[in-house]
Amino acid sequence: MRQVDRQSTVGEIVAKYPRTIQVMNRYKIDYCCGGKDSLEKVLQPWKEEARAIEEELNRVINKYTENNEVVKNWKEESLTQIIDYILETHHRFMNDTLCELNELTYKILKVHFASHGDSLLRLHHTFGLLKTELEAHLVKEEENLFPLIKEFEKTNDQNLKQRIDQFIQNTENEHDAAGDLFKEIEIITEDYTPPHDACFTYKRTFELLDALEKDTFNHIHMENSILFELISSAR
């Protein structure tokens, strides 16, 4: 029976065994912006439940061994391949979903203003901030950071590396800011629980917000714990 190492960072655990994300999400363990924290540290607030969470993680990890499952080791891929994967999956999903949610959050605000005006106004406002920040963030990665990284991979130019390190610092700060806005949205929507009188559109909005949060966490994990880690270890 394989045991998860409590000294491993949560980012490392997720990179090695991606299905542990489901357990992390369930217990609201921040494996993306907080990916550099050790499992030991993130389990501390859970006190007596920590053991049970660790066992759940072990069960997920052992399934990989039982099924002889080979997990894609991103750290063996080139930086360019990782970037292209991020663009094709997470950036595309984020762009499409932000666009759809922009209409939906406005629509439910208008239709349900009489019964849920307070929370829907807060949701509309906070989602607006999130959308503005995330769109700018995607453009900066696509136009600045990612092309620089691809160039660095080709040339190994150390001057480029310095500029990249600077960009990474700003990018990680923006990831933290997006994580905070998602936490606010979780509070406003009571963890994406629609009210009893919610219509189809209301439910769809909450489902999509929930999906966007989960995909964003995974996206940030790919950048912070895989792509940026590889760059910081590149000489």
Binding site for Fe ion (CB under 5 A): 141, 223
In whole angstroms, how close is the CB of 77 to Fe ion at the nearest point? Answer: 16
What are the b/e assignments for 25-50, b being 16+ CB within 10 Å? eebebbbbbbbebbbeebbeeeeeeb
**Strand ranges for 49-162 from DSSP E:** none
Nearer to Fe ion, 89 or 201 (CB): 89
In whole angstroms, how close is the CB of 210 to Fe ion at the nearest point? Answer: 19
For residue 89, the tally of other CB atoms under 10 A from its CB is 14
Nearer to Fe ion, 116 or 131 (CB): 131
Residue length of the chain: 235
In whole angstroms, how close is the CB of 94 to Fe ion at the nearest point? Answer: 8
Contact 105, 113 (CB under 8 A): no
In whole angstroms, how close is the CB of 70 to Fe ion at the nearest point? Answer: 26
In whole angstroms, how close is the CB of 92 to Fe ion at the nearest point? Answer: 11
What's the rounded Cα separation, in Å, for the pair 178 and 167? 16
In whole angstroms, how close is the CB of 224 to Fe ion at the nearest point? Answer: 8
Phi, psi of 38 (to 5 degrees): -75, 160
Amino acid, res. 4: V
Nearer to Fe ion, 171 or 189 (CB): 171
Nearer to Fe ion, 141 or 213 (CB): 141
What's the rounded Cα separation, in Å, for the pair 90 and 101? 16
Nearer to Fe ion, 54 or 141 (CB): 141
Nearest to 119 by CA among 212, 190, 29, 205: 190
3-class SS of residue 9: strand
Nearer to Fe ion, 141 or 229 (CB): 141
Nearer to Fe ion, 116 or 219 (CB): 219
Calculated CA dihedral for residues 22, 17, 95, 133, nearest 10 degrees: 80
In whole angstroms, how close is the CB of 103 to Fe ion at the nearest point? Answer: 23
